[in-house]
């Protein structure tokens, strides 16, 4: 069954290339699997549509042979979903398989926030991203904390610095790619020959190879070892949020660049406070006389003990807002608020004297 690429992007058949590019950016940002609104199936569909409609030649062929165009797949040239996602995460337009993708001038690494300001050389393989989960206390989340992390992963060889060459060894031009760092392959399709560029699997995109390979890593440029580093967890971080450490992921080997580390934070619940975003909530139990007559009570806040005034005539479950006594807002100035819910305590059992006094009170109130 033919696929409707125009419907996938939400554009008309007479849409301009600028309109198609704009629609792709919007939908790709929405459905990217690493986003909260992510949908991998939808993201694949949107990418496949743009790979066709974003290219004038392919678009003309699709408009003419739409009923069979879907047989060509969404990535082309031997590429797979992992290759595409690597490129979409900032792999410089190349996946782990070395297949080049054309995003029509759109930098998906910048669009989805994977670049982190780190340089990405064209054609270089990118290492896998690594995820670590850590647990912190409620107080650590409120005020911020530094944690030391340890992880076993593929790192750049510390002898050859990830280059794969024996220290002091000279390099020579790669015979496979003639120093270009990539090789070109032509694949026959129903539309004729289609050309795709692949990272050279001999020099790994560098264009040169060492005269002598590193004895420590065997020329791979990577070794399995333990990494230790300190992560600064900002004040106000919430449960489930993550911190990206650029370039702290796995190193892919000679000629590549390391991926990123994602530290997912899990916050223990507080025994006193309930958290909703940057606001905190506290239940305060008072007696009936305190609610009727009013009182000043010392309560716990994130800033220590503070006096809280219970107004006379306070109803049970009445809520009071204390501005600025909440949690630090991430990426914004100021703090959230603290909400105090007053709950009037009703004892299940009372003494005979207390019962008599309550009955007298009841009679007085009914007058």
Output the CA–CA distances (angstroms, integers) from residue 174 to 96, 161, 162, 210, 338, in the order listed.
20, 20, 17, 9, 65
Six-digit token string for 122? 């064209």
Q: Which residue(s) pair with 15 in the sheet?
A: none
For 170, residues 6+ apart whose C-beta sits below 8 A from its C-beta are 210, 211
Distance between CA atoms of 202 and 119, rounded to whole angstroms?
23
- Per the CB < 8 A criterion, the answer to whether 277 and 336 are in contact is yes
Six-digit token string for 292? 């009727």
Distance between CA atoms of 50 and 20, rounded to whole angstroms?
8
Distance between CA atoms of 55 and 356, rounded to whole angstroms?
89
Q: Which helix (H) or strand (E) holds 186?
A: strand 182-189
What's the alpha-carbon Rg for the chain, to the nearest Å? Answer: 31
Distance between CA atoms of 97 and 272, rounded to whole angstroms?
52
The torsion angle over the Cα atoms of residues 53, 58, 59 and 63, rounded to 10 degrees, is: -130
Which pLDDT belongs to residue 187?
72
pLDDT along the chain (367 residues), means of 10: 82 90 86 72 84 83 64 41 51 42 46 42 74 94 94 92 86 86 74 71 80 88 92 93 92 88 94 94 94 94 95 95 94 91 91 87 78
- CA nearest neighbour of 337 among 326, 353, 345, 352: 326
DSSP 8-state class, residue 35: S
Which pLDDT belongs to residue 84?
52
Which pLDDT belongs to residue 2?
66
Q: What domains, with CATH codes, occur in the chain?
A: 127-162+221-269 (2.60.260.20), 274-366 (2.60.260.20)
Distance between CA atoms of 206 and 98, rounded to whole angstroms?
13
Output the CA–CA distances (angstroms, integers) from residue 349 to 85, 265, 344, 346, in the order listed.
66, 45, 15, 9
Q: What is the pTM of this model?
A: 0.57
Which pLDDT belongs to residue 206?
79
- Per the CB < 8 A criterion, the answer to whether 309 and 294 are in contact is yes
Place of tokens 């690493």: 34
Six-digit token string for 296? 């000043």
Helices (H), 193-279: none
* 3-state helix/strand/coil string of 108-152: HHHHHCCCCCCCCCCCCCECCCEEEEEEECHHHHHHCEEEEEEEE
- Per the CB < 8 A criterion, the answer to whether 214 and 104 are in contact is no
Which pLDDT belongs to residue 36?
64
Distance between CA atoms of 24 and 37, rounded to whole angstroms?
15
Distance between CA atoms of 182 and 200, rounded to whole angstroms?
5
Output the CA–CA distances (angstroms, integers) from residue 172 to 86, 165, 209, 221, 249, in the order listed.
29, 11, 5, 17, 29
> Got the DSSP string for 267-329?
EPPPSS-EEETTEEEEEEEE-HHHHHH-EEEEEEETTEEEEEEE-TTPPTTEEEEETT-SPBP
- CA nearest neighbour of 259 among 269, 270, 247, 271: 247
Which 3 state secondary structure label does DSSP give 188? strand
Q: Which helix (H) or strand (E) holds 47?
A: helix 40-53
């Amino acid at each position: 069954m033919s696929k409707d690429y125009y419907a996938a992007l939400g554009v008309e058949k007479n849409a301009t290339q600028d309109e198609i590019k704009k629609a792709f950016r919007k939908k790709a940002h929405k459905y990217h699997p690493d986003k909260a609104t992510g949908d991998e199936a939808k993201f694949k569909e949107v990418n496949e549509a743009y790979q066709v409609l974003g290219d004038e030649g392919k678009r003309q062929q699709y408009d003419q042979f739409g009923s069979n165009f879907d047989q060509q797949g969404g990535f082309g040239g031997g590429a797979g979903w992992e290759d595409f996602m690597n490129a979409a995460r900032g792999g410089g337009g190349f996946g782990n398989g070395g297949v080049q993708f054309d995003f029509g001038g759109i930098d998906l690494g910048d669009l989805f926030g994977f670049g982190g300001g780190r340089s990405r050389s064209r054609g270089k393989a990118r290492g896998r991203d690594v995820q670590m989960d850590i647990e912190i206390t409620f107080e650590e989340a409120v005020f911020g904390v530094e944690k030391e992390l340890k992880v076993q992963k593929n790192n750049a060889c510390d002898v050859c610095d990830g280059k794969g060459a024996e220290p002091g060894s000279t390099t020579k031009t790669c015979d496979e790619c003639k120093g270009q760092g990539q090789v070109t392959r032509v694949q026959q399709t129903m539309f004729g020959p289609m050309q795709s560029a692949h990272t050279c699997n001999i020099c790994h995109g560098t264009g040169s190879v060492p005269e002598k390979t590193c004895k420590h890593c065997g020329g791979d440029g990577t070794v399995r070892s333990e990494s230790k580093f300190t992560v600064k967890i900002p004040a106000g971080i919430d449960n489930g949020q993550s911190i990206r450490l650029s370039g702290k992921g796995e190193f892919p080997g000679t000629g590549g660049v390391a991926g990123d580390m994602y530290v997912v934070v899990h916050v223990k619940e507080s025994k006193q406070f309930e958290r909703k975003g940057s606001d905190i909530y506290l239940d305060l139990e008072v007696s009936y006389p305190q609610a009727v007559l009013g009182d000043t009570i010392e309560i716990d806040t994130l800033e220590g003990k503070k006096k809280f005034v219970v107004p006379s005539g306070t109803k049970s479950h009445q809520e009071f807002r204390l501005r600025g006594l909440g949690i630090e807002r991430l990426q914004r100035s100021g703090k959230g608020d603290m909400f105090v819910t007053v709950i009037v305590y009703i004892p299940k059992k009372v003494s005979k004297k207390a019962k008599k006094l309550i009955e007298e009170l009841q009679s007085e109130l009914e007058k």
